Chains A and B, each alone.
Chain A
Amino acid sequence: MPVPADNGIEVEDLVRQFKNGPRAVDGISLEVKPGEIYGFLGPNGAGKSTTVHMLTTLLPPTAGIARVAGFDVATEGPLVRQVIGAALQEAALDPHLTGNEHMRLQTALQGLDREDRRARGTELIDRVGLSDAADRKVGGYSGGMKRRLDLALALVHRPRVLFLDEPTTGLDPQSRSALWEEVTRLSKEDGVTVFLTTQYLEEADQLAERVGIIDAGRIVAEGTPAELKAEIGRPSVEVVPRDPARADESAAILKRFGRPVPAAGEALGVRLSEGIDELVGIVRAFDEAAIELASLVLNEPTLDDVFLARTGHHLEGDEGAGDSGEIPLPDGATAG
């Protein structure tokens, strides 16, 4: 499907400073192409939701310019709201209304033609798999059902730009996968531009065509997931010596194989100079030094590595979503 040329998002030096507070968003600039899925990745409190709130006209920017589908969010709010759909972090649903009644409300708020309302509501309820629960009050829905209903509500007026603020947080893997499929379909088949915030690396990696990484209100990296990971290039290894007293010796061994990188907790990390082939050498070196290892983890470059390289710390909230391959060590055994 051809995508209208003005379906994109342009942001220039966007700032949001709360009263007596820090700059939640500190001069970000980005561009989302029409029909693209853009992943906005960052830890809790990085400024993702504040950015979405500004782009969806829920919050006025303190400074800077943002245009959504060609309309300025600060001065053309009503026009922006006509062309966007949004499913925010906390699905704002009325527990006293059923799924169908929510559809009735949303289609009225969006000003759908009366004849179109019921058909559109039924179509979307069906598309998100809630037909059986459509006449039940939302107060009894599970978290996943609420998320799906929220997505359906965001789509009633066939928006050109869709904002999804951490849409899969708290969802089970099956619901997460179903939502990814639907978002991909919206972009590919309907030409909808999707701006998706997430703290899950896997989500950004799999879903987004381009990713912006935000930390402390600033964009620290931007590009396709492949481009960003290519910046890091080589894999890293993290080890945890069983005896913490031998950490310095362990660090010295690792240093022979590449540049040390920050690692979580008591782990010691190194970016391998020559690539994965050096893994055998590392294991052998620890064996020769008779240093027992509690764990040894090989990390292929991930978006977390990009984040780590740019900010010096890991993303929060991502649990095992990277491409790391832990090599299990038997209790008391030395590596090698």
Chain B
Amino acid sequence: MNDFHPGSRYLSAAFGVTWRYLHNLYTRPAQFIPSLLFPLFFLAAFAGGLSVVADSPDFGYYDYTAFQFSFVLIQASALAGVFAGFSIASDFELGMGRRMMLATPNRSAIVLGYAIGAASRLGVTWVLVTGVSLLAGMDVGGGGLDLAGMYSLALLGNIAALLFSAGIALRFRSLQAGPLMQMPIFILLFLAPVYVPQALLTGWIEPVASVNPVTAILNASRSLLAGEPTGVLAAYAIAFGLIAALTVWAITGLRRAEVAG
């Protein structure tokens, strides 16, 4: 037995989980490449195919590619969290979860490790999505601080999605729960003003979007990219609120996994 400081030991376990997650991700292209192509497909389909929407007189945003970029950035970040949730489910289904539960004194370090892993993989995703958007002619209105705020919101979306997926994965401990992780995130994302600004939404989607927490985050992200920050504090408050609630969800999932053995 070693007498390592408990805090250091906790972080060591979390980083161990992160290392393995990233190692397996980057050494298995079949797992990693689709997760990169996914947001690029959405960017091409929306920004390319729907750019005429920006010609609408009430559109009110400076650039349609930039408009879609904000959505794809948040979507790609959230899905990176969901994919990490898939890994948790797979690990528990195939036995590695048990090894980690057995070797880690404080088991919340396991969830933290996956969360760090999910956030770490964002770097590559962000560079790719941003690079392709810039090549497609996206204008960037905001300054460095605005962009930092925009990427931070995407990071918070990633953490929230990971915590939601982790809660599902730890409750079911099977990859068969994959749709339960992915679908709610997808639905929540697409019930936000994806194609047009919120002001242009009509019908049933308008009231739904107005209470969807993703709407506030997406609107704030777009305002930061435009260099005209609006509703940013509210967006951060919502994001942190989601993370707080979903942390409870993930930790109670961990407790369920512990009880199930």
Q: Is B105 an interface residue (CB 8 A)?
A: yes
Most buried by A among B12, B94, B101, B103: B103
Within 8 A of A (CB), among B91-112: 94-96, 98-106
Contact, CB under 8 Å: B105 / A79: yes
Q: Which of A159-207 contact B (CB under 8 A)?
A: 159-160
- Is residue A278 within 8 Å, beta carbon to beta carbon, of the partner chain? no
- In the complex formed, the residue of B with least CB distance to A83 is B1
Q: How far is the CA of A157 from the CA of B99 in the complex (A)?
A: 14
Distance to closest chain B CB from A252 (angstroms): 52
Most buried by A among B13, B98, B261: B261
Q: How far is the CB of A18 from chain B (nearest CB, A)?
A: 9
Does residue B27 face the partner (Cβ distance < 8 Å to A)?
Answer: yes
A269 to chain B, nearest CB (A): 40
The answer to whether the Cβ of A58 comes within 8 Å of any Cβ in the partner chain is: yes
Which residues in A have their C-beta under 8 angstroms from that of B24?
A: 94, 96-97
B102–A113 contact, CB under 8 A? Answer: no
With known contacts A53-B261, A92-B98, A96-B24, A108–B4 Cβ distance under 8 A: no
Partner of A108, one of B16, B95, B259: B16
**What is the bound-complex CA distance between A93 and B101, given in angstroms?**
13
Instruction: Please tell me if the beta carbons of A81 and B4 are within 8 angstroms of each other in the complex.
Output: no
CB 8 Å contact bits of B8-23 with A (1 = contact, 0 = none): 1110110111011001
Question: How many chain A residues have a CB neighbour from B under 8 Å?
Answer: 37
Q: Is the CB of B103 within 8 A of A81?
A: yes
B258 within 8 A of A: yes
Pair A104/B13 contact, Cβ less than 8 Å = no
Chain B at the A interface: mostly helix, strand, loop or mixed? helix
CB distance from B95 to the nearest CB of A (A): 3
How far, in angstroms, from A96 to B15 measured CA to CA in the complex?
18
Q: Does A17 lie at the interface of the complex (its beta carbon under 8 Å from any beta carbon of B)?
A: no
Given the interface pairs A92-B99, A101-B23, the reply to whether A78 lies near B1 with Cβ below 8 Å is no
Within 8 A of A (CB), among B1-42: 1-2, 4, 8-10, 12-13, 15-17, 19-20, 23-24, 27-28
A275 within 8 A of B: no
User: Given the known A-B contacts A79-B105, A111-B4, A113-B4, are A88 and B98 also in contact in the complex, defined by CB atoms under 8 Å?
Assistant: yes
B-contacting residues, A7-43, CB 8 Å: none
Are B1 and A97 in contact (CB-based, < 8 A)?
no
| Cα of A58 to Cα of B4 in the assembled complex, Å | 23
Question: Chain A's interface: helix, strand, loop or mixed, by majority?
Answer: loop
Question: In whole angstroms, what is the CA distance A108 to B104 when docked?
Answer: 9
Interface residue? A232 (CB, 8 A): no
Contacts of A79 in B (CB 8 A): 105
Partner of B1, one of A93, A94, A109, A160: A160
Instruction: Please determine whether B2 and A113 come into contact, CB atoms closer than 8 angstroms.
Output: yes
With A and B bound together, what is the CA distance between A303 and B27 in angstroms? 50
Tell me the minimal C-beta distance from A69 to chain B in angstroms. 9
Interface pair B2/A111, CB less than 8 Å apart: yes
Is there an interface contact between A109 and B23, defined as CB atoms closer than 8 Å?
A: no
Does B19 contact A159, Cβ atoms closer than 8 Å? no
CB <8 Å contact, A157 and B1? yes
Contact with B along A72-98 (1 / 0, CB 8 A): 000001110111001010101110110
Q: Given the complex of chains A and B, what is the CA–CA distance between A86 and B99 in angstroms?
A: 9
Q: Does A158 contact B (CB under 8 A)?
A: yes
Chain A residues within an 8 Å CB radius of B9? 110-111
Query: Which has the most chain A C-beta neighbours within 10 Å: B9, B23, B259?
Result: B9
**Chain B residues in 8 Å Cβ range of A107:** 16
Give the distance in Å from the alpha carbon of A129 to the alpha carbon of B242 in the complex: 50
From B2, B23, B98, B105, give the contact of A112 (CB < 8 A).
B2
Closest Cβ neighbor of A120 among chain B residues: B2
In the bound complex, what is the Cα–Cα distance between A108 and B15 (angstroms)? Answer: 7
B16 touches which of A78, A82, A109, A160 (Cβ 8 Å): A109
C-alpha spacing A105/B18, complex, angstroms:
10
B104 and A105 within 8 A (CB): no
Considering only residues 218-253 of chain B, those with a C-beta below 8 Å from chain A are: none
Q: Which residues of B contact A299 (CB under 8 A)?
A: none
Contact digits for B73-106, partner A, Cβ 8 Å, 1 yes 0 no? 0000000000000000000001110111111111
Complex: A90 Cα to B96 Cα, angstroms: 11
- The answer to whether B16 touches A159 (Cβ under 8 A) is no
Q: Is the CB of A105 within 8 A of B106?
A: no
In the bound complex, CA of A90 to CA of B98 (Å): 10
**What residue in chain B is nearest A92 (Cβ atoms)?**
B95
Q: Report if A236 contacts B (CB, 8 A).
A: no
Residues from chain A with Cβ under 8 Å of B17 in the complex: 109
Q: Is A59 an interface residue (CB 8 A)?
A: yes
- Inter-chain contacts of A97 with B (CB < 8 A): 20, 23-24
Shortest CB-to-CB span from B84 to chain A, Å, is: 16
Nearest CB on A from B53, distance (A): 44
Q: Give B258's nearest chain A residue, CB to CB.
A: A60
Tell whether, in the assembled complex, residue B261 and residue A58 are in contact, meaning their CB atoms are under 8 Å apart: yes
Please name the 8 residue pairs, one residue from A and one from B, whose CB atoms are nearest each other, closest first: A108-B16, A111-B9, A59-B261, A92-B95, A78-B105, A109-B103, A92-B99, A111-B12
9 contacts between A and B (CB under 8 A): A81-B103, A81-B104, A93-B96, A94-B96, A97-B23, A108-B19, A111-B8, A111-B13, A159-B1
Contacts beyond the supplied A108-B13, A158-B1: 4 A-B pairs with Cβ under 8 Å: A82-B1, A92-B96, A101-B23, A111-B105
